[in-house]
Amino acid sequence: MMRFRFIEEQLGKLPIERLCKIMDVSTRGYRAYRTRTISQSQRADMVLLAHIREQFALSLNSYGRPRMTAELKELGLQVGHRRVGRLMRQNNISVVRTRKHKVTTDSNHKFNIAPNLLKQIFVANKPNQKWVVDISYIWTREGWLYFAAVLDLHSRRVIGWAVSNRMKKDLAIRALDMAIALRKPPKGCIHHSDRGSQYCSHDYQKRLRDLGFKISMSGKGNCGACPRA
Give the pLDDT confidence of 158-205 residue by residue, as tens digits. 999 999 877 776 899 999 999 999 999 999 999 999 888 788 888 899
pLDDT at 76 over 90: no
Q: Please report which helix (H) or strand (E) contains residue 40, including its range.
A: helix 40-58
Last residue of a domain, one of 44, 63, 90: 90
pTM of full prediction above 0.75: no
Question: Is the same domain home to 198 and 125?
Answer: yes
- Same domain for 126 and 199? yes
123, 134 in Cβ contact below 8 A? no
Q: Assign residue 128 a region (left: φ > 0; alpha: ψ between -120 and 50; beta: otherwise).
A: left
Inter-CA distances, 76 with 42, 69, 224, Å = 20, 11, 34
Question: Hey, what long-range contacts does 58-66 have (CB within 8 A, 24 or more apart)?
Answer: 58/167, 58/168, 58/169, 59/166, 59/167, 60/103, 60/104, 60/106, 60/167, 61/95, 61/96, 61/103, 62/95, 62/102, 62/144, 62/166, 62/167, 63/95, 63/166, 64/94, 64/95
pLDDT of residue 63: 81
Q: Are residues 113 and 197 in the same domain?
A: yes
Q: Give the separation between CA 83 and CA 70, rounded to whole angstroms.
A: 13
Q: Do 116 and 71 lie in a common domain?
A: no
Fill in the amino acid letter for 124: A
Dihedral sign, Cα of residue 219, residue 115, residue 101, residue 58 = negative
Domain boundary among 90, 115, 137: 90
CATH number at residue 155: 3.30.420.10
In the chain, the percentage of residues whose pLDDT exceeds 90 is: 34
Domain shared by 148 and 226, yes or no = yes
Q: How many domains are there within the chain?
A: 2
Range of the domain at 146: 99-229
Indicate if 85 and 22 belong to the same structural domain. Answer: yes
Of the three residues 42, 72, 90, the one that is the final residue of a domain is 90
Rounded Cα distance between 153 and 137, Å, is 21
Please report which confidence band the pLDDT of residue 107 belongs to, taking 50, 70 and 90 as the band edges: very low
